[in-house]
């Protein structure tokens, strides 16, 4: 499983974990509009795209995201959701999808 963060400063690809996801969505971390954060495991992905926010929204940690869930040929678009809800769904993805991944010898 991998965690990908693509923003105006480039792309970072990290091993996915609950800790890594929490760091990306941490309250003090600035997430600019257009930033794409994704988790991928096999043919399943969860993608969050940061939307434009007002300054007050950022201070309350409710910066909205659009979420896209992809499961092989099926995709669904959701949102906008708050930063807290995006973090909750990303944690859940790591915990449920990560347990189903096969580890190669």
- Does 32 fall in a domain? yes
- Does 105 fall in a domain? no
- Does 19 fall in a domain? yes
| pLDDT on residue 99 | 58
Question: Which residue range forms the structural domain that includes residue 37?
Answer: 2-100
Q: How far apart are CA 16 and CA 1, in angstroms?
A: 6
Q: How far apart are CA 99 and CA 74, in angstroms?
A: 21
- Does 80 fall in a domain? yes
- Does 55 fall in a domain? yes
Please report, rounded to a whole number, the percentage of residues in the chain having pLDDT higher than 70. 82
Number of domains the chain is built from: 1
Model pLDDT for residues 32-82, shown as the tens digit of each residue: 889 999 999 888 999 999 998 664 444 444 458 999 988 877 878 887 899
Residues near 2 by beta carbon (within 8 Å), at least 6 away in sequence = 13, 14, 15, 16, 39, 40, 41
Residues near 96 by beta carbon (within 8 Å), at least 6 away in sequence = none
- Does 57 fall in a domain? yes
Residue 17, helix vs strand vs coil: coil
- Does 23 fall in a domain? yes
Q: How far apart are CA 37 and CA 43, in angstroms?
A: 17
Entry pTM: 0.81
- Does 66 fall in a domain? yes
| pLDDT on residue 54 | 60
């Amino acid at each position: 499983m991998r965690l990908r963060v693509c923003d105006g400063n480039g792309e970072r690809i990290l091993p996915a974990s609950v800790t890594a996801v929490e760091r990306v969505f941490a309250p003090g971390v600035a997430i600019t509009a257009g930033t794409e954060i994704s988790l991928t495991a096999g043919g399943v992905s969860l993608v969050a795209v940061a939307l434009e926010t007002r300054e007050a929204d950022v201070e309350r940690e409710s910066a909205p995201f659009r979420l896209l869930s992809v499961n092989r040929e099926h995709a669904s678009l959701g949102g906008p959701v708050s930063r807290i809800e995006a973090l909750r769904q990303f944690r859940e993805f790591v915990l449920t999808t990560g347990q189903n991944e096969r580890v190669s010898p």
